[in-house]
Amino acid sequence: MIAWLPVIFYKHILTVIMDKVIFLHYLLPFIGAITVSVVLTTIIKRLAEKLNIRDLPLVERKIHQKSVPLLGGLAVYLSVLILILVFKDYILDGRIQASYIWALIIGGLFLIVGGYLDDKYNLKPLGQIIWPILASLTILVGGISVKYITNPAGGVIDITSSLLSGLIVFFWLMGMMYTTKFLDGLDGLVSGIIFIGAIILFCVSLFWDVDQSGTSILCLILAGSVLGFLLFNFYPARIFLGEGGSTFLGFMLGTLAIISGAKIATALLIMGIPILDVVWVIVRRLFKEKHSAFLADKKHLHFRLLDIGFRQRQVVLLLYFLTLLFGAIAVFQKTQGKLVALAVLVVVMFFLAFWVLKRYKKIQQS
Q: How many CB atoms lie within 10 A of CB 319?
A: 22
Report CA Rg, the chain: 20
Over the stretch 87-132, which tens digit does the pLDDT of each residue have?
998 898 778 899 999 999 999 999 999 999 988 888 888 888 999 9
Q: Whole-model pTM?
A: 0.87
Q: Of 169, 168, 184, which Cα lies nearest the Cα of 278?
A: 184
Average pLDDT score over residue span 171-194: 93
Residue 21 pLDDT greater than 50, yes or no: no
How far from 113 is each of 127, 239, 240, 326, CA to CA, in Å? 12, 18, 16, 33
Window from 154-158, 192-196, 328-332 with minimum mean pLDDT: 154-158
Average pLDDT score over the chain: 84
Residue 154 pLDDT greater than 80, yes or no: no
Give the confidence band of 209 by pLDDT, cuts at 50, 70, 90: low
Contact of 44 with 225, CB cutoff 8 Å: no
Q: Of 221, 263, 211, 215, which Cα lies nearest the Cα of 15?
A: 211
CB neighbour list of residue 110: distance below 8 Å, 6 or more residues apart: 131, 134, 135, 138
Over the stretch 326-354, which tens digit does the pLDDT of each residue have?
888 877 777 777 778 888 888 888 888 88
Contact of 73 with 264, CB cutoff 8 Å: no
Average pLDDT score over residue span 200-215: 75
Return the pLDDT at 232. 96
